[in-house]
Amino acid sequence: MTVASAAIAARGSCRTFDGRPLEAAERVRVDTLLAGPHPVPFGSAIRFALLDARGSGTRAPIRFGTYGVIRGAPGFLVGAVREGAGALEDYGFALERLVLALSVMGLGTCWLAGTFRRGDFSERIGLAAGEVLPAVTPVGHPAAHPSPIDAVFHAGAGAARRRAWEVLFSVGRGDAGAWAPCLEAVRQAPSAVNGQPWRIAKEPGRPVFHLGIAGPAGDRSRRRLDAGIAMCHFALVAAERGLPGAWIGPSSGTRHPLLPSGVVHVASWNPA
């Protein structure tokens, strides 16, 4: 199993941490990761910071608002992206790549796109005009035993369930050939409430893949983040397997003829 595939398989959502701060060497590695660069498919300007939730000396701990979902996290990874076409997809792509790198380090993370108070984080990162803060993740050492909140979310989101290959992809495993592991990596990607909105179609006879998102138009912002996460998984596994290509887009939001009805085209993978 490749490093990317192993990280994708090992990654899980951690909501309960043991409260220990990152060790000095861990903090150096994390800061190096956050310093970038952060190459993304559509070229959005993204910056990240690790915010310390602990107090020091006479300074009280910072209580970032997560509605009781996250417990014991010593810090939060927060990012800001300049608004524009493809910005949310790029943010999802970049943050998921960091999440996978943190997982390789043995640190716990959990995507938060709705269950946090943005004002608490925006002020600390200094959100500028024209920037948005789409999602954050806690970062720390997982607790030895998950709390009841973990079990509730795991059961409520159906975290152990994945949609069948045939539902997500308009190409059989055999026809996918060398690209099948890339598609399987997409199938394993996290998404809001485990909605798995990605749909991918392959052009007959050539390694061109078209990715879209399914679901109601009113919830498209979070699904665009999910699309970026899926694009990250696909690209990382393709790179490790020496498969050429890059995501081209972003799409104008129209339907692609190879994608199922009701699916909004996001981007296409074209061989380099």
Question: 3-153 with 165-270: one CATH topology?
Answer: yes
Beta bridge partners of 116: none
- Does 55 score more than 60 pLDDT? no
Distance CA 140, CA 74 (A): 6
For the segment 123-159, what is each residue's pLDDT rounded down to a tens digit? Answer: 889 999 999 999 999 999 999 877 766 666 655 455 4
Distance CA 13, CA 115 (A): 14
Given pLDDT bands bounded at 50, 70 and 90, which one contains residue 58? very low
The pTM (predicted TM-score) of the whole model is: 0.92
Distance CA 46, CA 100 (A): 17
Structure-block tokens of residue 33? 């990761």
- For residue 137, the Cα-to-chain-centroid distance in whole angstroms is 10
Question: Are residues 163 and 33 in contact, defined by beta-carbon separation less than 8 angstroms?
Answer: no
- Does 102 score more than 90 pLDDT? yes
Beta strand spans in 113-197 (E):
131-132, 136-139, 169-170
Given pLDDT bands bounded at 50, 70 and 90, which one contains residue 114? confident
Q: Please provide the average confidence, as pLDDT, over all residues in the chain.
A: 89
Question: Are residues 78 and 125 in contact, defined by beta-carbon separation less than 8 angstroms?
Answer: yes
Residue 27 or residue 9, greater confidence: 27
In the Cβ-directed half-sphere of 138, how many Cα atoms lie within 13 Å? 31
What residue spans define the domains of the chain?
A: 3-153, 165-270
| Angle at which helices 220-240 and 87-104 cross, to 10° | 50
Q: Which of 219, 157, 213, 147 lies closest to 186, judged by CA?
A: 213
CATH level 3 topology of 165-270: NADH Oxidase (3.40.109)
Distance CA 228, CA 197 (A): 11
Q: What percent of the chain has pLDDT over 90?
A: 69
Q: Which of 211, 208, 177, 227 lies closest to 270, judged by CA?
A: 208
Q: Which CATH number fits domain 3-153: 3.40.50.2300, 1.10.390.10, 3.40.109.10, 3.30.70.260?
A: 3.40.109.10
Distance CA 93, CA 232 (A): 5
Q: Which of 85, 76, 30 lies closest to 54, judged by CA?
A: 76
